[in-house]
Chains A and B, each alone.
Chain A
Amino acid sequence: MKELVCIVCPKGCRLHVDEENNYSVTGNSCPRGAEYGHNEIKNPTRVLTSTVRLEGGLYRRCPVKTNKAVPKRLLMDIMQALNSVSLKAPVQAGQVVLPHVCGTDADVIVTKNL
């Protein structure tokens, strides 16, 4: 049994997730909480936001993000992968920087026109 605080809304319900019983959730006050608890223990994912090098732009870094949530355990690997990227201005929001980053189905994309 794992315990965590729900972050779906500000209420902060204390969820209990039973890993041995198909990750069933108790302590939630709404279905969204149940879904959050289930996923958060079974396969926690996050959207990663960071920057990459940019040459010739207004600033020296360009903001990027994964276009969908990626497994939490891969965040540092993706950060490492971003070190090898260097863009040249101009760049457009939405432009793909690293497709299928670290073997996931997510692309790293630019989030600002620079």
Chain B
Amino acid sequence: MKYDVCIIGCGVIGAAAAFELSKYDCSVLILEKENDVAMGSSRANSAIIHAGYDPKPGTLMARLNVEGNAMAEQLCKDLSVPFARIGSLVLAFSEEEEATIRMLYDRGVANGVPGLRIIDAAEIREMEPQVSKEARAALYAPSAGIITPWEYTLAFAETAVRNGAKLVLNAPVTGIRALSDGGYKLATPKVDFEAAYVINAAGVHSGEIHEMVAAKTFTVMPNRGEYYVMDKAECFRANHVLFQCPNQDGKGVLVTPTMDHNLLVGPNAVGVEDGDRVNNTAEGMAFVREKASKSVPGINYRNAIRNFAGIRANTDKDEFQISIAADRFIDLAGIKSPGLSSAPAIALEAVRLLNQCGFAPDKKAHPITTREKKRFRYMNDEERREAIRENPLYGRVICRCETVTEGEIVDAIHSPIPPCSVDGVKRRAGSGMGRCQGGFCGPRIVDILARELKLDPMEITQDGVGSQLLLAETKREVTE
């Protein structure tokens, strides 16, 4: 069959575009090269919905960030995505930096960011008792928020799938050919697909996809950022997203609470060759610790529970690469920060560009635009009783650190985009996110996955393809 629209990449951008398009009367195909959605930049970032004072006025980044920020609250409510508008502070430690935050204030006002205020040291102290006494002033942006980014991606993608969009995993696009009757043939290692319109949302690989149909107009320059995730015991160190003044290396090291009440510290910013390798380095981790101590001196790194690194799809342009790149081919490319914040607005932009290409399907009469998700850990006592009455598996705690029940894990395994890995379950149910990092629940999750998917435990992976956890069975040579 020939699809109306094929979206390449199911990160937050591809997923948001799929969600938006799935509200229309058209067939949507999403091709994702990994074995799950949100496997690139979308799962490893600062998890911030930025207010929008950073991008230069007049840019797409400025407009889409502010629009995306405004959309986030209702979307997250409708799609059951953890989100909180906790506000952000950009801390100034010198006269020069005070000038920078005044410049950011002016930019923010020009960009239409609501509620911006410059606050003095006394007010910083009041809002953030743990912040360094050296902070002289700060730009306060009440509209900034924190979010669970892979859940945002999953919510868009799952709802799109429930609206009829087709998601194919493990399908890297290896070639694109224009068809004589218009539209494109997309080659993947197993099957070829055909679509009338193509959306390039391939993140760090969006340059390669672009060049399959058009002349090179931008260069992706993958940029790696490393982070610390701290135990909940450190969460009290920050009440808001705490930025430092932006410099040539990006927005600098931030300290922020997360939606799961951990503390997130990072990132650094290092240009790398390989956009798929997200390793941590001793230097990067030391850099993050040192820089973060300028904002919040007391962080106790003995309470670290995880390090991670993410890749930003930076380009040689100081702007998102959103345009009609070729006939019926739309780039949502080079989406770097504030890409997560802009995602739903970028999706609207994608629909506008499709309209410009002459594709204007009707809206469905009753598209699905809501999603429910049970999270035992956030239920009150009565809701818990009710959940266990409905499904006794909600009474069996599998992940003891985060209080995730077998009911939630089984629900996740049978969700619209079924996970096939321990980390896939983790992203959906929250198991293994806590202080023991899956030490206790890992073997039980493997067990449940194998049982529910009717697989041998030795087939279960930690995460991506090839990441099997168990390499052999003991006592194999039974002579019958």
Residues of chain A within 8 A of B476, CB atoms compared: 83
One digit per residue, 1 when the CB lies within 8 angstroms of any chain A CB and 0 when it does not, for chain B 459-480 equals 0000000000000001111110
State which of A51, A52, A61, A84 has its C-beta within 8 Å of the C-beta of B477.
A84
Q: Mostly helix, strand, loop or mixed at chain B's interface?
A: loop
CA–CA, A72 and B108, complex, Å: 75
A14 within 8 A of partner (CB): no
Residues of chain A within 8 A of B477, CB atoms compared: 80, 83-84
Residues of chain B within 8 A of A52, CB atoms compared: 475
Residues of chain B within 8 A of A85, CB atoms compared: 475
Residues of chain B within 8 A of A80, CB atoms compared: 477
Query: Chain B interface: which size bin?
Result: under 10
A86 within 8 A of partner (CB): yes
Residues of chain A within 8 A of B475, CB atoms compared: 51-53, 61, 82-83, 85
CA–CA, A30 and B478, complex, Å: 46
The answer to whether A84 and B479 touch across the interface, beta carbons within 8 angstroms, is: yes
Rounded to whole Å, the gap between the CB of A21 and the closest CB of chain B is 44
CA–CA, A53 and B477, complex, Å: 11
Rounded to whole Å, the gap between the CB of A30 and the closest CB of chain B is 39
Residues of chain B within 8 A of A82, CB atoms compared: 475
Rounded to whole Å, the gap between the CB of A114 and the closest CB of chain B is 15
Summed over the interface, the residue pairs from A and B with CB atoms below 8 Å come to a total of 19
CA–CA, A68 and B474, complex, Å: 24
Residues of chain A within 8 A of B474, CB atoms compared: 51, 61
CA–CA, A89 and B152, complex, Å: 47
CA–CA, A8 and B474, complex, Å: 32
CA–CA, A84 and B474, complex, Å: 11
A86's closest neighbor in chain B, by CB? B478
Residues of chain B within 8 A of A61, CB atoms compared: 474-475
Residues of chain B within 8 A of A51, CB atoms compared: 474-475
One digit per residue, 1 when the CB lies within 8 angstroms of any chain A CB and 0 when it does not, for chain B 209-231 equals 00000000000000000000000
Question: Which residues of chain A from 66 to 90 have a CB within 8 Å of any chain B CB?
Answer: 80, 82-86
CA–CA, A13 and B479, complex, Å: 46
Rounded to whole Å, the gap between the CB of A64 and the closest CB of chain B is 11
| Residue among A82, A83, A85 with the highest chain B CB neighbour number at 10 A | A83
B479's closest neighbor in chain A, by CB? A84
Residues of chain A within 8 A of B478, CB atoms compared: 53, 83-84, 86
Residues of chain A within 8 A of B479, CB atoms compared: 83-84
One digit per residue, 1 when the CB lies within 8 angstroms of any chain B CB and 0 when it does not, for chain A 31-62 equals 00000000000000000000111000000010
CA–CA, A52 and B476, complex, Å: 10
CA–CA, A111 and B479, complex, Å: 23
CA–CA, A11 and B474, complex, Å: 37
CA–CA, A86 and B475, complex, Å: 9
CA–CA, A83 and B478, complex, Å: 6
CA–CA, A82 and B475, complex, Å: 7
Interface residues of A (CB under 8 A from B): 51-53, 61, 80, 82-86
Supplied contacts A83-B475, A84-B477, A85-B475, 6 more A-B pairs, CB within 8 Å: A51-B474, A61-B475, A82-B475, A83-B479, A84-B479, A86-B478
The 5 closest A-B pairs by CB, nearest first: A83-B477, A53-B475, A84-B479, A83-B475, A86-B478
> What would 19 A/B residue contacts be, using CB atoms closer than 8 Å?
A51-B474, A51-B475, A52-B475, A53-B475, A53-B478, A61-B474, A61-B475, A80-B477, A82-B475, A83-B475, A83-B476, A83-B477, A83-B478, A83-B479, A84-B477, A84-B478, A84-B479, A85-B475, A86-B478
